[in-house]
Structure 1
Amino acid sequence: MIIVRYGEIALKGKNRKTFENKLIENIKKTLARKGVDAKVRSTQGRLIVDASHEFSEIIRKVPGVVSVSPAWKMEYEEIPEFLSTHLRNMNPASFKIDARRINKAFHKTSQQINEEIGAFVVQRFGWKVNLNQPELAIGIEMIEGQAYVFFETKKGVGGLPSSTQGRLVLLMSVGIDSPVAGFLMLKRGVSLTALHFDQGHADLARQMIDVLNQYSSEPIELIVVNHLEYFQPYVTELERMGKREWTCVICKVLMLKKAEEIAKERSALGIVTGDSLGQVASQTLENLFLESSVVKMPIYRPLIGMDKDETVRIARQIGTFEIFVEAARHSCPFRPSSVVTRGSTYGLNKILEHFKSKSLWQG
């Protein structure tokens, strides 16, 4: 058995059951991708998953899950015998009992359970009690009159269940930022379609998607566009205009236009990017304003106020940082020696008008 706890869903009022059912569905889908047909039931603000303990690591990555505990189900009276057997090869410096009655149906209070089972462990093993920083915490949750005993609680990603908030198109590189942006939107209940402009690392992009799929209730579609073929005509025209310093801004403009096109095809409601304010030249307020002006769809930037350390921490946490390291030495072949950091609307419009005259731009 695995105990699954959720948090934000409990605040949804009349919609709570809808979100709870979606979370159950997503857990089942996630386990089914691993070949597991698990039963999941809801009771007293908990989900009980009838699956082997090893699958708790998979379940904790499902958006909406706050924590999981691999547990053993038994009658309350069976706890001493179970602990005698299960703990006999352990010798922790200290322990504590952390008991909770999930409802008032059971006749003993949480404190009574703590004292009663704690006294048994002391008598049986002679271990020292430490309520603040124990080496071993023995969890007991009384649910519908049954005892669920566990020895670890794994933190989940929290947030809302996937596919409860519509679809967005993620502009995804193999860098640090955009996969993290995708993860943050997944944990807010969004479904993703990913768009990658390939510079020779499509295999790494697929690895990034494999990681993000651990946090998605449905496989994420990855659309790959050849970066060199797509951008070369525009860079050539910028050279002719003597406007090579605009390359990074124009590159982002074209990416957003392509993302908008795909969003319309996929009935998506917007675009997600890994932009972080001021982090690189194309991410100044002026340039972000210009880039946003060329598309009509909303652009979501979940990293906009984060610093690099925060983003790296999340990338390490979810497992995309190691993939980024494999591609870290790569640089864009189109990057100019100097770049526009505070582009103007007038300057952008002149370039787009030129592109239009060459049948390279519509809009």
Structure 2
Amino acid sequence: MEDLKYDTVMVRYGELAIKSEQVRNKYEKILIKNIEAMLDLHKIEYQEIVRERGRIYVISEDKRAPAVISNVFGVVSTSPVITTGPTLEESCKVAAAIGKEVIKDGESFAINARRAGAHDFTSQDAGRKCGDAVWEAIKDRHPRVDLKNPDHEIFVEIREERSYIFTGVIRGTGGMPLGSQGKMVALVSGGIDSPVAAWMMMRRGCEIIPVYFNNEQYVDEAYTQKAIDTIRKLKEWSPGHDFKVYEVPHGECLRTFRERGNIRYTCVFCKRMMYKVAIEIAKKEGAHGIITGSSLGQVASQTSENLLIEHHGIDFPIYHPLIGLDKNEIVDMAQRIGTLDISVRPAMGCQAVPKHPAIHGRIEEIMKMESEQVDFDKMIGDALSRARITIM
């Protein structure tokens, strides 16, 4: 046992475990399919993926596998493990070898043991026996046993057919398996917020249909490229699931409204137009809702009054996963998911934003402008007919 061989990745999931047998079985199969796609994306070899109740095991000796699998939506944590037979003696032998490898002079350790199935010993027995074996293997290093805050914790899981021994736990992304909750249209811009919002709903199991509204003459090419690149970054989180990306021309709509409407309502009108176009795309694609990056009070169009106007008369689910987060929290998430560096690249912001936008808008005003000064249906039809579709 001098050369320890971690031959398996233990994959843990969370809320899937509390689902009914039928639903859990369905979601586990989706999760395994997503794990396979993530491993294939990173060219990680594996021999097999095995399901046991409450656990998934990926048979692979690739040291990258635990970290890569931890990025699959639905995975709570992973551990590289050494497998051995289901006897207490075999488990003790491996635990002692791990202790000898990782525990240094004067350091403390603890054994976290559990067993499942029919055995002639308890979990407490397994913990004591393995602890004794580790102590005996390293007693010349003067180790200490600390059950509350050890320097090293060795985990022993003994099941019916084999035992799993490990010491490291890698925190996973959590959430629900991607593809378990249907599809939604995600409004994605080149900013920080919208890709984070899309990612959060992906984490809850939604496949997304990214839609970018290109404000054309009011932004530069660098801003458009940021939007496309953030979508590509989101795609890295969803191997095995194609993105059908819509790029919708939007500059002409803004120009028309700025010429005919109250310019202070430009941002509110812009968002309403986005919603109406996105709803038509959602109906076409069989999606169940619209995702936005709105955070309450962050910009003029996201005050509570203006959010009310933007949603007025719209009979379709609109989700704002960031609504209660502050900017620092959103930035931290963007950093974690890999979109922040893209979103903060230099680019010209939208020049259609008025110098003094309406903050406390009135529904009556925007309804009057829409009915008397702009032809909403025509603009929606024109935008959809000119939309460019790309498969990623």
TM-score (norm 2): 0.82
Correspondence list, 1:180-259, <5 A: 180-198=196-214, 199=219, 200-216=222-238, 218-221=240-243, 223=245, 225=247, 230-231=250-251, 233-241=252-260, 243-259=262-278
Q: 29-38 or 152-161: which moved more?
A: 29-38
Counterpart residue number, 1:13: 20
Maintained 8 Å contact 2:223/2:348:
no
Counterpart residue number, 1:78: 90
Q: Mark the CA change 1:208 to 1:105 in structure 2 (over 3 Å): closer, same or farther.
A: farther
Question: Deviation of residue 2 (structure 1)?
Answer: 0.8
Q: 289-298 or 175-184: which moved more?
A: 289-298
Counterpart residue number, 1:40: 49
Question: How far apart, CA to CA, are the structure 2 residues paired with 1:23 and 1:263?
Answer: 25
Structure 2 residue corresponding to 1:356, chosen from 369, 375, 389: 375
Question: Deviation of residue 24 (structure 1)?
Answer: 1.9
Q: 20-29 or 167-176: which moved more?
A: 20-29
Structure 2 residue corresponding to 1:109, chosen from 112, 122, 136: 122
Correspondence list, 1:139-218, <5 A: 139-198=155-214, 199=219, 200-216=222-238, 218=240
The one-letter code matched in structure 2 to 1:118 is G
Residue 320 of structure 1 pairs with residue 333 of structure 2: no
Structure 1 residue corresponding to 2:283, chosen from 217, 239, 264: 264
Question: Deviation of residue 89 (structure 1)?
Answer: 4.9
The one-letter code matched in structure 2 to 1:98 is N
Residue 98 of structure 1 pairs with residue 108 of structure 2: no
Maintained 8 Å contact 2:193/2:330:
yes
**% of aligned pairs identical?**
34
Question: How far apart, CA to CA, are the structure 2 residues paired with 1:42 and 1:16?
Answer: 12
Question: How far apart, CA to CA, are the structure 2 residues paired with 1:360 and 1:325?
Answer: 31
Task: Report the secondary structure of 1:201's partner residue.
Answer: helix
Q: Residues 25-67 of structure 1: CA distance to partner in whole angstroms, max 9, x if unpaired?
A: 2222322333456422211311111123411122112222111
Question: Deviation of residue 86 (structure 1)?
Answer: 4.5
Q: 352-361 or 140-149: which moved more?
A: 352-361
Maintained 8 Å contact 1:162/1:217:
no
Question: How far apart, CA to CA, are the structure 1 residues paired with 2:243 and 2:198?
Answer: 13
Question: How far apart, CA to CA, are the structure 1 residues paired with 2:228 and 2:380?
Answer: 30
TM-score (norm 1): 0.88
Q: Mark the CA change 1:129 to 1:188 in structure 2 (over 3 Å): closer, same or farther.
A: same
Question: Deviation of residue 130 (structure 1)?
Answer: 1.6
* Structure 1 unpaired stretches of 5+: none
Question: How far apart, CA to CA, are the structure 1 residues paired with 2:185 and 2:57?
Answer: 33
Task: Report the secondary structure of 2:131's partner residue.
Answer: helix
Question: How far apart, CA to CA, are the structure 2 residues paired with 1:302 and 1:224?
Answer: 21
Q: Mark the CA change 1:262 to 1:358 in structure 2 (over 3 Å): closer, same or farther.
A: closer
Counterpart residue number, 2:38: 30
Question: How far apart, CA to CA, are the structure 1 residues paired with 2:225 and 2:375?
Answer: 34
Question: Deviation of residue 300 (structure 1)?
Answer: 1.0
Q: How many residues align?
A: 358
Question: How far apart, CA to CA, are the structure 2 residues paired with 1:33 and 1:288?
Answer: 40
Task: Report the secondary structure of 2:50's partner residue.
Answer: strand
Q: Mark the CA change 1:111 to 1:283 in structure 2 (over 3 Å): closer, same or farther.
A: same
Counterpart residue number, 2:390: none
Maintained 8 Å contact 2:303/2:359:
yes
Structure 2 residue corresponding to 1:293, chosen from 302, 312, 329: 312
* Structure 2 unpaired stretches of 5+: 1-7, 383-392
Question: How far apart, CA to CA, are the structure 1 residues paired with 2:198 and 2:261?
Answer: 36
